[in-house]
Amino acid sequence: MRIYIPALFTIVITGCGGSSSGPEPTVPPPAPPPVILGLDARPNNLSCIAPSRQVGSVDVAIERIFQNLAFSQPLGMLQAPGDSTRWFVLEKTGHVRVFANNHDTVSFLPDFVDLSQITNLNTDGEGGLLGMAFHPDFQSNRQAFLSWTEGSPMTSVIAQFTANFGGESLDAGSREDILRLDQDFTNHNGGQIAFGPDGYLYIGFGDGGSAGDPLGRAQETRNLLGAMLRIDVNGGTPYVIPADNPFAGNPTCPADPDLLNADCPEIFAWGLRNPWRFSFDSATGELWVGDVGQASFEEIDRIELGGNYGWDCREGAHDFGSSSASCATATNLIDPVHEYPRSEGVSVTGGYVYRGTDLPDLHGSYVFTDWGSGLLWRLVDDGVGGLTDELLLDTGFGFSFASFGEGNDNELYLVNLGGGGLYRIVPGAGAPNPPSVPDLLSDTGCMQATDASQPGEGLIPYTVTAPFWSDGADKTRWLAVPNGTEINVEVDGDFTFPVGSVLVKQFHLAGQLIETRLLMRHPNGVWAGYSYQWDEILGDGVLVAGGRVENIQGQDWVFPSSAQCNFCHTFAAGNTLGLETLQLNGDFTYPSTGRTANQLATLDGVFVLNGPIGDPTTFDSLVDPLDATANLSDRARTYLHTNCAQCHRQNGPTPTDIDLRFDTALSQTAACDQPPQHGDLGLGAATRIIAPGNATQSVLLERMKRRDANGMPPLASNLVDTSGAALIETWIDSLAICL
């Protein structure tokens, strides 16, 4: 305990021969009241320590590169043909940054282009600068092609530029629009472009946005949506159609997808939902696409000329139940070469077939990741003529990696949209596969071996002021940090835990213990979650591999996979969510002592925090959203902070710029009186994300009331929080302006 010792007295010295002539005795200052702690000492934690994390048969790692450079929402990285001295990084906001291919470089070269200065760039939703391709003969003709969205309503643009004679930057005046496509919504734009080994330019476009492709455009080949296009930019102005395209000979299609004419000759293949990232195998020329799914499956496709890949008749290899008229007559639909369920990710990021030299065991494998889970996989032979995925690495970055990069040497890179960093895939440490977490909760060392429903001696109980909505479950929480380590309290109040730390949460429905979740920070620094389903017969929790949904107490309960845990426990939010000063700055009654005390003071007093942190009474705190006596605005902002801000925050993982943190002024959230960035959900033209004084026109509330593909939260919940929705509805109706 840190103790304040006041000055208790002064000493007066008198002369040898007489009375004192010194100052009068002073009154000592009053001692501050003693700090009441909920615990007598820090628990001795010898057993609840995160083990090493198991990975696949190929040992890989990722390392941060070009750490001296800062990027804003990077979406791609590439090198010019024949020039390995520079890198070009695309930023969503319109910049193409250029820098020397030197790990220690500290500054950028002049921008290759800044689209925000030469066009009405629209960065809403999934818009912005989305793709770039150098002409294969760039060194001689200096031509480069860009893909972006502009205007309102949004329009996708593919344009050609010519660089100056040194190739350092593009001449803005050389812009020549090659192709334009009107977009009804701000998502599913696709947008990547690349030259194939045949010398033609390939373009990926999504189905037009919203959800479910209600107009069936991906199956309608009389528009350019939901398709891979192939055009010849060398044979005419602005392009000509390759003779073997499926619909060659027809007139080129207009920008307006509703002006149906004839089958579009630009189409190479169709039936795609959102071919966000694609690549060509540099050895075989095969075209690989990561096609983002709707609600159940993500898919990898190997694209063939004239192929129909099923959307929206099928999602992955499964019937989607579309009402589109085209699905009644669609034939010869091509299934993906691989699919994975939403328990493993929410948005596939297509990668590359590895043809580098640094990772020989990876040679010839298609490598891909998921933007939501941050898991890195490769495809391997499943032994029966197909392909299955093998986990290479849990990167620990949820909602981050939006794109791969391939160098001229065929080594692979990852582009972190959320954190703004660039990473290289490199060989791992070479150690054998370490052990995974135990199958039984009682063997984890975190709960009592004889009664797995009770915490082990090394755990510290805690609570939060405003719990996350968990479909009506009651929760109990503990934390454990290795002996000799402490938790850092960051400037923003987030807790940074040392490696080896474990967070434990138990869930009860109607008094029945149903699940225990462990969130571990493994020795490599990666956070990963594990779910244990309670088995009354065994009297133990059993590890749920890959996630599961079961009917418990009359409701469908989601046992999340390890990947799903990272969807909410985002890097931007510090991974641990509830472990922050705003949530813990309140009283808690500690079961072991029966004392009620401030949690921050207690953790500080028993040397769990790297402190001293100061007086908790001077810190901000949240309020209980269900406390009707508290300020309505504070209750509503607390609810949004807890349930939404783990993703919707500055540098968060969502394709929006909304910031719903408690301490962000409402006028600065980019949500109040702002139009929705992903459709109005049928609420009408007056819809706003938050419409002051009009909850019925607020898409934020509408998403809270749904549990479909447009609902929020987007996973791990099957029941609407009616009390929370009522609170937000009352608050929105009470707003007069955005302050």
Among 253, 169, 162, CA closest to 203: 253
d(C-alpha 596, C-alpha 352), whole Å? 56
Question: Omega before 692 cis (within 30°)?
Answer: no
pLDDT at 430: 67
Domain enclosing residue 687, as ranges: 632-734
Look at residue 523 and tell me whether its pLDDT is greater than 90.
no
Q: What is the mean pLDDT of residues 677-691?
A: 89
Kindly state whether residues 212 and 337 are assigned to the same domain: yes
Q: What does 219-254 look like in DSSP terms, one character per residue?
A: T-TTSSTTEEEEEBSSSSSS-B--TTSTTTTSPPPP
Decide: 264 and 253 in contact? Cβ < 8 Å: yes
Given a cut of 80, whether residue 32 has pLDDT beyond it is: no
pLDDT band for position 334 (cuts 50, 70, 90)? very high
Alpha helical stretches, state H, 467-538:
none
pLDDT at residue 20, rounded to an integer = 44
Same domain? 456 vs 583? yes
Lowest average pLDDT, out of 93-102, 267-276, 421-430, goes to 421-430
The whole-number pLDDT of residue 321 equals: 78
pLDDT at residue number 634: 97
38 falls within a domain: no
Q: Is the separation of the CB atoms in 544 and 559 below 8 Å?
A: yes
Do residues 321 and 369 both lie within one domain? no
Q: What is the Cα 623 distance to its own chain's centre?
A: 27
Amino acid of residue 534: W
Residue 547 has pLDDT above 90, yes or no: no
Q: How far apart are CA 81 and CA 111, in angstroms?
A: 18
pLDDT of residue 411: 98
Angstrom CA distances, 708 to 527, 704, 712, stand at 28, 10, 9
**Structure tokens given for 120:** 């009405």
Structural domain contains residue 51: no
Over residues 468-477, the pLDDT tens digits come to 999 999 999 9
> Looking at residue 41, what DSSP letter applies?
S
Omega prior to 663 cis, within 30 of 0: no
Q: What is the DSSP string of 397-448?
A: -SS-EEEEEE-TT--EEEEETTT--EEEEEE---PPPPP---SBGGGSSSB-
pLDDT at 569 over 90: no
As beta bridge partners, residue 302 has 288
Q: Higher pLDDT residue, 204 or 59?
A: 204
Asked if 475 contacts 505 with a C-beta cutoff of 8 angstroms, the reply is yes
- Name the 3-class secondary structure at 353: strand
| Token pair belonging to 570 | 């985002």
My answer on whether 112 and 81 are in the same domain is yes
The structure tokens listed for 213 are 């492709």
Residue 109 burial (10 A CB sphere; 0-12, 13-18, 19+): middle
Q: Which residue shows structure tokens 């309290």? A: 489
The neighbour count for residue 6, using CB atoms within 10 Å, is 9
pLDDT of res. 678: 77
Handedness of CA 157, 161, 167, 169 (dihedral sign): negative
Residues 280 and 379 in one domain: no
- Distance, in Å, from the CA atom of 631 to the CA atom of 649, rounded to the nearest integer, reads 23
What is the distance between the alpha carbons of residues 423 and 413, in angstroms, rounded to a whole number? 6
Q: At residue 455, does pLDDT exceed 70?
A: yes
8 has pLDDT over 50: no
Tallying the residues shown for the chain, one arrives at 739
Helical H runs in 72-223? 138-141
- Is 22 inside a domain boundary? no
CA distance 627 to 91: 44
Say how far apart CA 27 and CA 325 lie, in whole Å.
91
Q: Please choose, from the candidates 577, 576, 602, the residue with its C-alpha nearest in 3D space to the C-alpha of residue 587.
A: 602
Q: Identify whether residues 325 and 368 lie together within a single domain.
A: no
CA dist 417 and 656 (Å) reads 12
Do 445 and 568 lie in one domain? The reply is yes
The mean pLDDT value for 137-165 works out to: 97
Question: Across the chain, what does the average pLDDT equal?
Answer: 91
pLDDT category, 24, cuts 50, 70, 90?
Answer: low
Whether 462 and 581 map to the same domain: the answer is yes
Q: Is residue 424 one of the residues assigned to a domain? A: yes
Alpha-carbon span 521 to 540, nearest angstrom: 23
Rounded distance, CA 55 to CA 436, Å? 9
Instruction: Calculate mean pLDDT across residues 426-439.
Output: 74
Return the higher-pLDDT residue of 567 and 531.
531
C-beta atoms surrounding 581 within 10 Å: 21
Among 342, 372, 401, the domain-final residue is 342
Indicate if the pLDDT at residue 156 is higher than 60: yes
pLDDT reading at 51 higher than 80 = yes
Within-domain flag for 720? yes
Mean pLDDT of 679-683: 86
Residue 153, preceding peptide bond in cis (omega within 30° of 0): yes
Classify burial at 583, counting beta carbons within 10 Å of its beta carbon; exposed 0-12, middle 13-18, buried 19 or more.
buried
Other C-beta atoms lying within 10 Å of the C-beta of residue 332: 7
Q: State the pLDDT at residue 7.
A: 32
66 pLDDT band, cuts 50/70/90, is: very high
pLDDT at position 428 over 70: yes
Q: What is the 3-state secondary structure (H, E, C) of 678-721?
A: CCCCCCCCCCECECCCCHHHEHHHHHHCCCCCCCCCCCCCCCCC
End-to-end CA distance of the chain: 42
Tokens of 173: 């005046």
Question: Residues 6 or more apart from 317 whose CB is under 8 A from it?
Answer: 297, 299, 335, 336, 339
**Predicted model pTM:** 0.73
Q: Which of 167, 182, 197 is the last residue of a domain?
A: 182
Burial 693-715 (b: 16+ CB within 10 A, else e): eebebbbbbbbbeeeeebbbbbb
Buried b (16+ CB within 10 A) or exposed e, 346-362: bbbbbbbbbbbeebeeb
Task: Return the beta strands (E) in 30-175 as ranges.
Answer: 60-65, 74-78, 86-91, 95-100, 109-114, 129-134, 143-150, 155-162
The reply to whether 320 and 378 lie within a common domain is no
- Gyration radius from the chain CA atoms: 29
Residue 34 lies in a domain: no
How many domains is the chain partitioned into structurally?
5
Please state which of the ranges 265-269, 416-420, 489-493, 530-534 shows the lowest mean pLDDT: 416-420
Nearest to 78 by CA among 1, 172, 11, 145: 145
22 pLDDT tier (thresholds 50, 70, 90): low
Predicted confidence at residue 181, as pLDDT, reads: 97
Helices and strands: H and E segment counts in the chain: 7, 38
What is the pLDDT averaged over residues 626-647?
A: 96
CA separation for the pair 333, 271 (Å, rounded): 8
3-state secondary structure of 605: helix
310 with 453, same domain: the answer is no
8 domain-assigned? no
In the prediction, which pLDDT does 100 show?
98
Same domain, 479 and 611: yes
What's the pLDDT at 9? Answer: 30
Question: Considering the chain, what percentage of its residues have pLDDT values greater than 70?
Answer: 95
Q: How confident is the model at residue 6 (pLDDT cuts 50, 70, 90)?
A: very low
Judged against a pLDDT cut of 80, whether residue 18 lies above it is answered with: no
Domain shared by 656 and 580, yes or no? no
Of 594, 618, 642, which marks where a domain is finished? Answer: 618
Question: Is residue 301 within 8 Å of 336, Cβ to Cβ?
Answer: yes
- Cα torsion through 483, 488, 489, 495, rounded to 10: -70
What's the pLDDT tens digit per position in 717-738? 999 999 999 999 999 999 999 9
Amino acid letter, residue 434: P
CB distance 415 to 425 below 8 Å: no
- Return the axis-axis angle of helices 632-643 and 722-734, rounded to nearest 10°: 130
51 C-beta neighbours (distance < 10 Å), count: 17
Q: Give the 3-state secondary structure percentages of the chain, helix then strand then coil, rounded to 5.
A: 10, 30, 60
pLDDT tens, 230-269?
999 999 899 999 999 999 999 999 999 988 789 999 999 9
Does 14 fall in a domain? Answer: no
- The closest of 717, 722, 696 to 707, measured between CA atoms, is 717
Residue 260: CATH number of its domain: 2.120.10.30
Tokens of 511: 């008094």
